[in-house]
Each structure stands twice: as structure tokens, then as C-alpha cells.
């Protein structure tokens, strides 16, 4: 059917002269891949690393692969990202293909960092199109689906326990493209090829064909054999029931795998168990009650709050549960159990907890019983050694003298039982009906004059400062440290871009810079209003929606696990929460450096590296972060 | 372990007073969903319809569901979108859940529109984050994966054959949420529950236990039974091998399904089989050769070109294959076989083909043999009745008199054998070295003076017009229709937003408006340079990348199927290609209306509905499209 060969001349090389349908200028050095043959994973998938401060979207372009090298102190968590993008589609089912991602344990000469305990891998899932949620890859037995033309970022965290001996720990991340035509079942950790199963059935049939149907003894013997085979098959079916819908590796030899070296230098420094900066973070009990259908103060309710508390403690923050009352009155408490309960001692004495909120019980109902409860609580707590961690957070952002009067009344009630109690008050302006011009900086800065002695912790919004870092001096000079007055800060809706905050869509260094800012400005504590303040939902797996009127991500630093997988009972952290933790860890590095070499030297380090100069002047790249950490590591180690 | 009930007062309703951790203003009317029980799909998934001109992204918000009502002529394809978004996560495996989507046949009193043949469902897959590629849902047996917090758009196409009797055709789209704990295997169209399989194995074991091991005859009997059972099991394993990794419905009863009514009114009008507007579209043979590893003029090469040709004919366009030569010389041909080959007659006589490109064989090598071949071809073709469809496209966008001389020489060679041959030349400016100011509109508009009689089809870029539609008159007044001179237009890199074109990220009506524009401006043909001009790739499933230097989507209107699924051999259409088809169908509606009621009436219809007034004034909403179609339907039907 083909025509004479004279019809067309041999084709020329196209596109040399440019234009038209000629190819563009990009030659990717593409190779011909025959997906019918098993191929090295590196021929099927682009893999490259990205720093933890990169927001790696689905459109991220591949880069050359570099092996991973990390520096970590003890009691520190460091993270890095691994981006995967299919070069070619090798699978059916409307996807590019599946990969199996495993990490080996990380070994030094004689010690290990264990996978699962110290090393964990997550899929970075976009929220509103922005990479944010970290879903454990172990949910899918380390398997990930790659989609055509899409980059999948993985998040790799290494936590070094305080007790871990310093040294260089080496391991590998092994990425194996799974063949769609080699579907296997995993049973008790070993891998069974599906072809094996069919062979087994065929074997049984062959055996039965070969029976001597005239010899009873031989048949009994043969049947015993067949029965054993069937039992074995049934076992495989049980596995099948659990595993159907997933695939696993063809073999464990990883002959076609792509390997990324992961090296962690653990140095001598131990990040303090008790965070140097008290950072208090609000957890809405209402949101938990609604989503998980928990009756207030039921046994399941206590379990849920306890789970959230324990989970959040890993992030170097001091959680407080909260519920809004009338006006901006707020009930806040770190421990859901009363002071005479053993759990209370466990919570308040935990060295990871820097400070705790004591419930001002009459916040929601000023009954006599509530007042009595408060008094009883205070009488117990003020005798404890952990009492120095206690604070009261009574009212959010008072705006008028009427609000100030409320705070005064509550504070007086508290201090009548516990005169040394500390009250925290948040504000971003002065009272609108006082002698200063409403909304003026002067009205704001003079707030301590009105709240003294009813507040000890003056917690102001970073938003107020704008880019004028020098206003910090004006705020601090109004305080009386000799009377235990402290300056804390907070971020919420403001400040917005380009200033540091935790909104979705901000750059990674912007998330991390919140705590660089706190260190540079010198506040002695930090408050964040909400970590789980989604829109109302009544099912654990209901879609998580950000609240209207708030910048996306504001008030939400983790997600309910059930939103990502019905079997996931733990929360799913956001990138932003991890970057907050990194910022708190950086804080410890800077503090350690400053205590050794003085604060001016630490400030010079920030300046020299370009890490953080002010709320609108901080690094956009990851480079200065590694630079600061390496310098601190170098000088602190040398100096010892 | 719980503490005294006096400790906290009963919780108040939160957030009534606004602010803080109180919920926002949005109450979605969320219901409590127990995913451990089977739930109606409507409780698990938002489903709503969107018009075909909507770009439905992953962040698209749910709307109330309305049933679908379409108007279609015969030989017309109409499309609509169905968006799905999980309300809740009901599945494991790191996804929200899976749904099974089926469409019933559409029935009138006595006729049907068949699923698969006339009704098809596609997943809309984003390219560079923009919804674009239409991947057949049948690839995954009608199953789709829903991801947490993501909207999945489905594209539903109904094609009405020319022979279809008019009438109202009704059917349903059935959407069934699949339970992840009810995994079943499909065998020969019937559904087998996995529990059944385990039961079968258990049965066999029980049978063997019950054997009388002393009776040979009973054992032989029993063994026959067991063997049959095993054979049956093996059959299930075969199915398993093919189906593992996918899931299917628990049952076919759809008791928990969500049903969307789909009603299509087929009216009496038949869109002409031969498109009224010749629209020629370039297909790069080089791209096909490289990606599919095809030797030029091998049997597989002919098959591939034929497949592409046949597939593209469905879109009311006249394909031509092309390859760029030296400079902007271009070899273009509609049929890869020579004129004396039976395939040539089949191609050129196809009534769906409006026009065809005859290869100017010496384009790539001006050997004596090539010139002889051309002469022979022309001598055959000019005797055929389809010769009136023939045109030559020799050079893309000549820029200098040297280029004009080349065209002249080629045209003369062609016309020495076939004096009535038509040569098409594309241009967006006059020659830079002629008497007019280079780049001036005058130089552009006077091109026919230089190219006459070496060009008959003057094909100009829409980009030249900007928003000045009135310049069309200047162009047309330079032509000599009495000498068969025609004005065609083209779009490529330009015009860009907000003017009509087919770039990725433009709005749907902008894609569709390309052909509204052609109708209003009155050109008698249209050219598009490339439908498959991706970056170079050497494997069928290699990632499709847009060429650098071109606006995304420019030169690519479909994708190789293998990029989306290794088993998909046909191309995958883009939304933009479907909207181009819709535009060409709209052209027929407008033409039919104009021939009945006059062109001014048709222009008034455009104006009255706001469909299209000019390149920067056309509807952004779908409403006017339905309005125009309904009006045409109403008046043409009434008038008959």
C-alpha cells in the first residue's frame, strides 16, 4: 500500500532556520524510553532537592539532582524537600505512574537515626493551590502517584533526639518506579508477585491432574498437599483484601531504583528542652467539638484535647485551648483538667511547656460556683514550682475604657487570691475614648499606664510597627521590668505581605522570619490566636475551609488528618507550622550565639549574611539560613 | 479520671459576638456524615453543572445543581461540564474518595443516542494549572479519583449524527461514591464481591475436610468438585491481574447514587457535512515521527498520519501535514499518499474535507525527480472533480522581496502545469524592502499588488487589525474576487489577550470567539499553523512541554494520548479544540440565519445578544451563546 519512494525526498533536519513548526531552542537531551521494558527510575522520573523554605508547586521545573547534606543540633528537626516529576508516562489508569519511596536508616559509625521515629517522609499537598499540607507517605505504604506534567514535592524531616550522639549519619532515599504490569501483593513484609499466585493455583491443578485416582493412599497424600496449598492461597486473599487498590514493589532489590544520598551532621549542641521563647498558641475547643462530634467534657473530649496538646508540644510551642465568650472575653486554658487532677501536674510540669494559661473560669459565667472554682484552682497552683509559668489571658484586644474596666475587675479578682499572678493582654491600639487621639501611636504606646497593675504581659501586634523597627524602643521604655512587666508580640490578620506572617502563599523565608523578627526586636514572648480555626464542620473528614474575611491560612497551622485520609487520626501539619518550628530553632541558635559572643555579634551575623534586617528586609533565598546555622555551629563548637 | 462537673460551666454558643476564634459568617448548612455507614452520594460529593465555556479549576466553588438541558442540531456536537468536589473524605489511601460515573443512553420516544458512540465523558486535566486536556473517563472504567479540597471537572459531549431523528432525548448521569471498604472485582460484566472469593476458598477447604478419606469413589467425586472450584478461582485471578489497582461498584443498583438529568433537544437542522468555512490546520509530521519513533514513509508512519487525519476531520477542519524547510519554506500536504494512490481519492473526495493542500514536492529539494513528481501529481489532480478544493501553501510569512521572488518562482512552476491552481500565502506585513514604509499598514495592504497572480488566497494575521475592524474593508478592496482572489485570516502568537485566540488561560468565550470573528469580518477561509507543535520528545508518553518563546497552548490543540495513559493510542483533545469546533458550529448557525434573513439580521442578532461586537467586545458569559442558538433554532424552524 505504500507509494513509490521518489514521491518525497528524504526529510531535512527541521527547524534549523527557526520559526514555524520548527522546534524551539530547548533541547532537553531527551532520550527514547521504551516503557514496555523495565527502565531505570532515573529515565522515568526527574528527582531533585529543594530547601524547606521553597514553595514547590505542581509547575515547578526540574533541576539537577544534588545529594542532601544537613546540619542539625540535638533535639532539633531539620527538613528538606525532594521534588518528583515524571519524564514520561509509563502507567495506565490515567496517571503517569507510581513510585515507591523508602528511606534507609541513617547510620554513623555505631549509631542510627531510625526511619519512622526520626526520619519521616510526607507528601506536600496543596491547599487552595498552594503547597501546604504534609500528609504522611506511610499512609500509602511509601507509594506516591505521579501525574502527567505535574511536580510532586515530598517533605523529608529528620528529628535528632537530645540523646543522639553527635556524628555524621548517612543513609539513602530510594525511589523506585513501579511497573503497572507487575502488580504484587505484600504479605508480612515479603513481596509476592501476582504471577506467583497464578502459578500456585496452576500447580494445584497440575497436582490434581497427576493424581493416581486408583490409589487411595496416594490421593490422601496428594490431597493433604492441595489443602496446604489452598490454605496458603487463602492467606494471600486476606492480604489481598487489605491491599487491593495499592501496588507494591516488584522486588526488594531496587536494581532499577534512583538513590539520593542523605547525610546529616549532628553536632554537639542540644537545643534546650524548654523553649527559650514562650510562644503561646491558641487551639479552638469549639472547632474540635464540632468536627469530631464530642460532647463537652466527655471522655472522648478529654482524649481529643490531650492528643492535640501532645501533638503540638512537639513544635516548641505552649498550647492553650480557647473559647470565645461575650464580646472579646475569652476563656483560655492549657490543661483541661483541674489543678487537683494528676493530669494537671503532668501538663504544667512538662519541661517542653514554657508557660501555661490558667483558666479564668468566670469568663463565661460569673456564677458563685465559678468564682469559687477559680479561687480553689489558684490556691493550689500558686504553691507549685511551675507557678512561675502561669499566666492569664482574659480579653482579646480591648478597644474602650469599658473593656479596660472588665480586665481590671477580672485581674483584681485573680490577684486578690494570687497577688503575683501574671495577666496577659493583647492590643494593637489604645482605648478609643481616652485622652489621646484615637488610633494614634501615642494612645497605643501609653496603654501600660491604664492597664497597670492589672496586666503584666503587654502583648502588642507586630502590625502596629509597620517597617519602623525603632518604635520598639518607645514601647519598651513605657514598661517597668522591675515590676515583672514584659513585652510580647503577636501576628494575626496583620501584618500582611511583604512582612513576616504565616499566611498561605507567602514565601518560605517569610514564614520562618516571624521568629527572626521576634529575636531581633527583643520581645520576651509571642502569642498566636489560632492553629485550627477553620470554618465550621460537623464531620472529621469534612472539607477544611478557611474562614471568610481572614487571609487564607490565618488561624490554621494544621489540618485534621481525616480530611486527607479516613484512617489518619493525627493532625496533618502545614509547611507553615514546620517553618514556625524552624524559626523557633533559629531563635535558639541566635540566642546561644549571643550568649557566647554578645548580642551585637549576633546582630552583625544577621546583617552580614542578610538573613534578617527588618520586617521588609530579610532573605528570600535559603542560602543565608544555612550560612547562619553553619557559622553558629562553627563558632560555638570552636569556642567550647 | 474525669473531674468534677462544676469545674467548667456549660459552653456558650461561640462566635455570636464576632471576632477571635469565633466562626465566620458562613454557615454552609453542613451535616454530620458518618462515613462508616454507606451514605447517599449527595452527602459525600458536591455536584454541579457548568457551561462548556467555563474554565473550571481545582479551586472552583460548588453551586446548586441544575439539571442539564441542551439544544443541538443534527451533525452537531454539544458539550457541558459537570463539576465534582468532595464534601468529606470517605476513603483511605490519601484521597477523598472514588466515584463511578455512568451515563445512561439518551432516549426519545423511539430512538436513542448511544453512550460511547454519541455520548462521552472526559476528565478535564490541567496543563500548567489551567484546565485543558480531555482524558476519556472510560480509560478508568468510568471511575474518577476525588482529592480533598479539589474540584474535578468532567466534560460531557453529545454528538448527534446527521441521521438522528429530531426530538427530545432524555437520560441521566449517575454518580456513585465508591466505598473503599467494599472492593470488588469485575468479571465479564458481572460483579463479584471479594468476600465471595474468600468464601469460595473456604468452601473448598470445608469440602476437603468433609471428604470420606476411606472411600475412593467419594474422593474422586469430591476432587472433581474441588478442581472445578479451583478453575473458577483461577479465572478470577486472571480478572484480578487486569483489574488490580482499580475498584468497581459494589452493586449495579445505584441506590445511593446521585442522578443528574440530561435532556437534549435535537432539532431539524443538519449542520452541513462539508464545512462552509474552509479551516486549514497544520499537523507537524516531524513531531509525530520523533515522538512515536516512526521512520519516514514506513508503514507505521502512514498509519500514524492517517490516524491523526481521521481524528482531526471530526473537528470540521481540513488538516494539512507540514514540515519546515530552509528559511520559511514549508512543505504542506493533506494526503501522504500520491495522487495515483487509492487513498488519495479517499482523502480528497471526503465530503468533510473542505479544502486540501497539494504538496509542492520540490519545497525541500528541487531535484529533477521532485519537479517531475509535482508535474505528474498536478496532471492527475487537475482532472478530478475535487480539484476545486486544492490549494498550495508554499511559504510562511514572506518578509522581503527575495521571499516574494521564491513564491513567484514556485507559483509559476505550478501554474505552468495547472493554470487554475490556487496558491495561499500568509503574511502580517509588507516586504521590508519595497517602496512603502516598512511595517506600515499601507505596505501590508498592498501585498496583493506584488503577489498577483502568484497568490490567490491572501491569508493575513488577525493581529494586524488590532481593534480596528474597519481595516477589513481596506484589505478586501485591494482584492480581485473576479479573478478568484480570496481573503483568509489566521491567528498564531498574536493577537493576544483580550482578543480571541486559543492560548491556554484565555477565557472560554475567547477561544470560541475566534470563529465568531471570522464570520463577522467575512473572510472566506482560515488557517492555523499547528495543532501538535510541542517541544521535541522521543517517547510516546514523554512529558508534553509547550515550546519556549510561544504563548502556552499556541500551536497545540491536542495531546498525545500516551502522555496521559500508556494504553491510550488516540490523541487527547484540548478544551480549546472543542471550543474551536463549537465556534465552527456557531458559524454554520450564523450562516444559516443570514441566508434566510439576510446578513444585517444576523449582525443584529450578534449585537442584540452581545455575543460578538468586535475583537475586544464579546461576551464573557455563556448566556448569549445559548440565546443566539435558541433564536436561530426558533426562527429557522418557524420559517420552514
A562 to A133, A310, A540: CA distances (angstroms) = 13, 18, 6
Work out the minimum CA distance from A335 to partner chain B, whole angstroms: 12
Residue B209's φ and ψ, nearest 5 degrees, are -65, -35
DSSP 8-state assignment for residue B41 = H
pLDDT tier, A141 (very low <50, low <70, confident <90, very high otherwise):
confident
Work out the minimum CA distance from A527 to partner chain B, whole angstroms: 13
Which residue has better confidence, B100 or A235?
B100
Of B147, B152, B174, the closest CA to residue B89 belongs to B147
Q: So what's the pLDDT on residue A507? A: 97
Work out the minimum CA distance from B516 to partner chain A, whole angstroms: 26
Chain B residue whose CA is closest to A237: B198
Measure the N-to-C terminal CA separation of chain A; round to a whole number of Å: 85
Give the contacts of B280 (CB within 8 A, at least 6 positions apart): B317, B318, B319, B320, B355, B357, B391, B393, B525, B526, B527, B528
pLDDT tens figures, A79-101: 999 999 999 999 988 899 999 99
Work out the minimum CA distance from A515 to partner chain B, whole angstroms: 22
User: Which grid cell is B288?
Assistant: 509525530
DSSP 8-state assignment for residue B61 = P
Q: Are strands A279-284 and A526-528 parallel, antiparallel or unpaired?
A: parallel
Query: Is A19's pLDDT higher than 70?
Result: no
Of B504, B538, B503, B535, the closest CA to residue A25 belongs to B535
- Interface with B, mutate which of A19, A148, A212, A225 (most B CBs under 10 A): A148
Out of B148, B219, B530, whose CB is closest to A564? B148
Q: How far apart are CA B505 and CA A230, in angstroms?
A: 58
Out of A8, A28, A297, whose CB is closest to B8? A297
pLDDT tier, A240 (very low <50, low <70, confident <90, very high otherwise):
low
Chain A residue whose CA is closest to B569: A92
User: Which grid cell is B220?
Assistant: 474422586
DSSP 8-state assignment for residue B611 = S
DSSP 8-state assignment for residue B215 = -
Q: Rounded mean pLDDT of A195-223?
A: 69
Chain A residue whose CA is closest to B365: A9
- Rounded to two decimals, the ipTM of the complex is 0.85
- Interface with B, mutate which of A11, A20, A216, A306 (most B CBs under 10 A): A20
Q: How far apart are CA B306 and CA A52, in angstroms?
A: 50
pLDDT tier, A225 (very low <50, low <70, confident <90, very high otherwise):
confident
Instruction: Tell me which residue has cell 528529628.
Output: A159
| Residues of A in Cβ contact (< 8 Å) with B286 | 11, 14-15, 21, 23
Chain A residue whose CA is closest to B366: A9
| DSSP string computed for B369-434 | HHHHHHHHHHHHHTTSGGGGGEEEEEEES--SHHHHHHHHHHHHHHHHH-TT--EEEEESS--TTS
Q: How far apart are CA B562 and CA B542, in angstroms?
A: 8
Question: What are the residue ranges in chain B where pLDDT is below 70?
Answer: 1-30, 180-199, 201-202, 209, 211-214, 216, 219, 231, 233-253, 638-640
Alpha carbon A456 to its chain's center: 32
| DSSP string computed for B219-235 | HHHHHHHHHHHHHHHHH
Q: Are B556 and B534 in contact (CB under 8 A)?
A: yes
Q: Are strands B526-528 and B486-491 parallel, antiparallel or unpaired?
A: parallel
User: Which grid cell is A136?
Assistant: 504522611
Q: So what's the pLDDT on residue A446? A: 95
| Residues of B in Cβ contact (< 8 Å) with A216 | 213-214, 216, 219
Out of B12, B139, B194, whose CB is closest to A364? B12
A302 to A356, A583, B520: CA distances (angstroms) = 18, 30, 70
Work out the minimum CA distance from B286 to partner chain A, whole angstroms: 7
Out of A87, A93, A205, whose CB is closest to B543? A87
Percent residues over pLDDT 70 in chain A: 86
CB contact under 8 A, A20 and B330: yes
CB contact under 8 A, A234 and B198: yes
Q: How far apart are CA A424 and CA A392, in angstroms?
A: 6
Q: How far apart are CA A247 and CA A153, in angstroms?
A: 21
Q: How far apart are CA B348 and CA B386, in angstroms?
A: 6
- Interface with B, mutate which of A5, A9, A31, A288 (most B CBs under 10 A): A9
Work out the minimum CA distance from A162 to partner chain B, whole angstroms: 32
User: Which grid cell is A299?
Assistant: 471522655
Q: Which helix (H) or strand (E) holds B146?
A: strand B143-146
Q: So what's the pLDDT on residue A197? A: 62
Q: Are A179 and A35 in contact (CB under 8 A)?
A: no
Q: Rounded mean pLDDT of A259-287?
A: 97
| Residues of B in Cβ contact (< 8 Å) with A244 | 183, 194, 244, 247
Size of interface A-B (CB pairs under 8 A): 411
| Residues of A in Cβ contact (< 8 Å) with B296 | 8, 10-11
Query: Is A434's pLDDT higher than 90?
Result: no
Which residue spans within B190-254 are E strands per DSSP? 190-193
Q: So what's the pLDDT on residue A418? A: 97
A585 to A274, A282, A310, A519, A529: CA distances (angstroms) = 12, 20, 19, 11, 21
- Interface with B, mutate which of A37, A98, A149 (most B CBs under 10 A): A149
Chain B residue whose CA is closest to A212: B220
Q: So what's the pLDDT on residue A93? A: 86
Chain A residue whose CA is closest to B6: A369
Q: How far apart are CA A579 and CA A637, in angstroms?
A: 25
Q: So what's the pLDDT on residue B245? A: 38
CB contact under 8 A, A31 and B139: no
CB contact under 8 A, A198 and B343: no
| Residues of B in Cβ contact (< 8 Å) with A493 | none
Q: What angle do CA A225, A230, A235 make, to 5 degrees?
A: 130
Query: Is A580's pLDDT higher than 60?
Result: yes
Mean pLDDT value across chain A = 88
| DSSP string computed for B421-479 | --EEEEESS--TTSSSPTT-HHHHHTHHHHHTTT-SEEEEEGGGGTT-TTHHHHHHHT-
Give the contacts of B312 (CB within 8 A, at least 6 positions apart): B281, B283, B319, B531
Give me the residues paired with residue B589 across strands: none
Amino acid at each position: 500500500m505504500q507509494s513509490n519512494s521518489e514521491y518525497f525526498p528524504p526529510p531535512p533536519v527541521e527547524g534549523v532556520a527557526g520559526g514555524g513548526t520548527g522546534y524551539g531552542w530547548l533541547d532537553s537531551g531527551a532520550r527514547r524510553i521504551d516503557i514496555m521494558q523495565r527502565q531505570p527510575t532515573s529515565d522515568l522520573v526527574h528527582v531533585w532537592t529543594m530547601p524547606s523554605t521553597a514553595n514547590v508547586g505542581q509547575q515547578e521545573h526540574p533541576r539537577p539532582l544534588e545529594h542532601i547534606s544537613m546540619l542539625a543540633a540535638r533535639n532539633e528537626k531539620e527538613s528538606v524537600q525532594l521534588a518528583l516529576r515524571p519524564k514520561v508516562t509509563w502507567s495506565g489508569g490515567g496517571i503517569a505512574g507510581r513510585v515507591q519511596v523508602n528511606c534507609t536508616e541513617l547510620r554513623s559509625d555505631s549509631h542510627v537515626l531510625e526511619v519512622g521515629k526520626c526520619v519521616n517522609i510526607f507528601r506536600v499537598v496543596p491547599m487552595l493551590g498552594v503547597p501546604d499540607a504534609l500528609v504522611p507517605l506511610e499512609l500509602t505504604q511509601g507509594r506516591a502517584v505521579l501525574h502527567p506534567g505535574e511536580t510532586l514535592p515530598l517533605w523529608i524531616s529528620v528529628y535528632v533526639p537530645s540523646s543522639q550522639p553527635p556524628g555524621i549519619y548517612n543513609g539513602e532515599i530510594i525511589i523506585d518506579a513501579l511497573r503497572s504490569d507487575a502488580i504484587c501483593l505484600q504479605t508480612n513484609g515479603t513481596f509476592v508477585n501476582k504471577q506467583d499466585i497464578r502459578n500456585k493455583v496452576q500447580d494445584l491443578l497440575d497436582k490434581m491432574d497427576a493424581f493416581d485416582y486408583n490409589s487411595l493412599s496416594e490421593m490422601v497424600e496428594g490431597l493433604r498437599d492441595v489443602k496446604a496449598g489452598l490454605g496458603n492461597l487463602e492467606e494471600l486473599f486476606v492480604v489481598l483484601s487489605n491491599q487491593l487498590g495499592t501496588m507494591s514493589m516488584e522486588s526488594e532489590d531496587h536494581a532499577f531504583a534512583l538513590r539520593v544520598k542523605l547525610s546529616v551532621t549532628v553536632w554537639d549542641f542540644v537545643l534546650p528542652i524548654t523553649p527559650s521563647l514562650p510562644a503561646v498558641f491558641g487551639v479552638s475547643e469549639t472547632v474540635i467539638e464540632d468536627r469530631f462530634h464530642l460532647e463537652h467534657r466527655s471522655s472522648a473530649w478529654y482524649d481529643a484535647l490531650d492528643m492535640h496538646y501532645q501533638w503540638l508540644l512537639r513544635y516548641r510551642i505552649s498550647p492553650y485551648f480557647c473559647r470565645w465568650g461575650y464580646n472579646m472575653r475569652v476563656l483560655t486554658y492549657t490543661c483541661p483538667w483541674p489543678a487537683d487532677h494528676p493530669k494537671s501536674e503532668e501538663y504544667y510540669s512538662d519541661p517542653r511547656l514554657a508557660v501555661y494559661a490558667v483558666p479564668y473560669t468566670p469568663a463565661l459565667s460569673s456564677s458563685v460556683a465559678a468564682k469559687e472554682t477559680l479561687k480553689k484552682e489558684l490556691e493550689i497552683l500558686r504553691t507549685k514550682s511551675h507557678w512561675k509559668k502561669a499566666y492569664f489571658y482574659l480579653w482579646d484586644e480591648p478597644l474602650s475604657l469599658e473593656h479596660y474596666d472588665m480586665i481590671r475587675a477580672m485581674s483584681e479578682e485573680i490577684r486578690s487570691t494570687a497577688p503575683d499572678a501574671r495577666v496577659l493582654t493583647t492590643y494593637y491600639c489604645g482605648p478609643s475614648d481616652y485622652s489621646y487621639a484615637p488610633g494614634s501611636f501615642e494612645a497605643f504606646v501609653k496603654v501600660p499606664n491604664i492597664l497597670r497593675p492589672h496586666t503584666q504581659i503587654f502583648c502588642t501586634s507586630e502590625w502596629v510597627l509597620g517597617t519602623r523597627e525603632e518604635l520598639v524602643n518607645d514601647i519598651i521604655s513605657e514598661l517597668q521590668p522591675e515590676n515583672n512587666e514584659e513585652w510580647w508580640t503577636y501576628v494575626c490578620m496583620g501584618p500582611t505581605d511583604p512582612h513576616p506572617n504565616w499566611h498561605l502563599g507567602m514565601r518560605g523565608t517569610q514564614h520562618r522570619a516571624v521568629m527572626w523578627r521576634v529575636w531581633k526586636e527583643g520581645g520576651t514572648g509571642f502569642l498566636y490566636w489560632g492553629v485550627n480555626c477553620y470554618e465550621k464542620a460537623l464531620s472529621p473528614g469534612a472539607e477544611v475551609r478557611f474562614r471568610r474575611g481572614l487571609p487564607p491560612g490565618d488561624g490554621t497551622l494544621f489540618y485534621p488528618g481525616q480530611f486527607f485520609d479516613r484512617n489518619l487520626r493525627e493532625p496533618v501539619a502545614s509547611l507553615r507550622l514546620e517553618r514556625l518550628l524552624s524559626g523557633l530553632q533559629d531563635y535558639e541558635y541566635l540566642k546561644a550565639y549571643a550568649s557566647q559572643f554578645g548580642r551585637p555579634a549576633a546582630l552583625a551575623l544577621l546583617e552580614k549574611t542578610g538573613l534578617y534586617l527588618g520586617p521588609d528586609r530579610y532573605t528570600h533565598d535559603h542560602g543565608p539560613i544555612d550560612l547562619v546555622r553553619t557559622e553558629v555551629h562553627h563558632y560555638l563548637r570552636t569556642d567550647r
